[in-house]
Amino acid sequence: MIWRRIGENLKKQHWATIGVELVIVVLGVFIGMQASNWNQERATDQQSEAFTARLKADLREEDWAYQFLIAYNREVLANANRAVNALEGKATLSDEALLVSAYRATQYKQRARRRSTYDELISTGAIGLIREQTLRDTAMRLYNAPMFDNLVREGMQSRYRGAFRMSLSNGTQRALGKHCGDHNIRTGDYSAIHGILDYPCSTGLAEQDITQSAKALRTNPNIVPYLRLRIADLETRLVDMTGNNRDIMEHLRAIAAKKP
């Protein structure tokens, strides 16, 4: 409609009118583009807020898992040290206490990571929607850190774990797992992360079984060397978590401290 009027005014050489109508056209196009840009910016802002909230929720759970793994592996390490000291004659443990500590030194934890938001952001190329640089960098470093995979791999493939499992009967191992194994706790419960593994227990085994099992450990030439290696691996991973990657831990702590 407006273009027809402009054409008619051109024929009649109504230049002032043509100028006004062209200004109207340009303004209309400009306003339309601005409105489209504003709508797009608003949609992007809403996406950014949604993804940021989701990522923070994921990292709050990751903070709990980080603290849990530190506490858990410290308890595994404490038991490994008790067992090796007893086997090397540096400390005295009853046969049953030796069995318990030696069993607990074999333990490791494998848990599903909460990383769906991060993976979606990376796979869609939308990581830039996370505008808080510290939040973005923390997520990128956390989800690409090899220390968690190393913890699981070294625990699962531990030669000490293999030697221990081959030294004792399956019935003895089942009794140790039943009576002295990990306590289950609710994800997010910080108050319960200590004492999951390191708590007083009785194996429920007959005295003869305890004596024979402890003897099997004391006389196996591989147990002490492999236990020393297990201790070294655990100490390395704990340094990774609390020293080499301390900034990740501290950033997670700060994110978890800010409640949604």
Q: How many domains does the chain have?
A: 1
Residue 47 lies in a domain: no
| Angle separating helix axes 223-239 and 147-156, nearest 10 degrees | 170
Would the pLDDT of 34 be above 70? no
d(CA 124, CA 160): 43
Q: What percent of the chain has pLDDT over 90?
A: 80
Q: Which two tokens stand for residue 212?
A: 């024979």
* pLDDT for 188: 92
Q: Which two tokens stand for residue 191?
A: 């108050």
Q: What's the rounded mean pLDDT across residues 210-238?
A: 97
Q: Which domain holds residue 154?
A: 56-257
Q: What's the rounded mean pLDDT across residues 121-127?
A: 94
Residue 41 lies in a domain: no
Residue 50 lies in a domain: no
pLDDT band at 85; cut points 50, 70, 90: very high
d(CA 157, CA 161): 7
Place of tokens 């419960």: 189
Residue 30 lies in a domain: no
Q: What's the rounded mean pLDDT across residues 120-145?
A: 95
Q: What's the rounded mean pLDDT across residues 54-66?
A: 96
Residue 229 lies in a domain: yes
Q: Which two tokens stand for residue 168?
A: 């004792």
Residue 206 lies in a domain: yes
Place of tokens 């994110």: 255
Residue 214 lies in a domain: yes
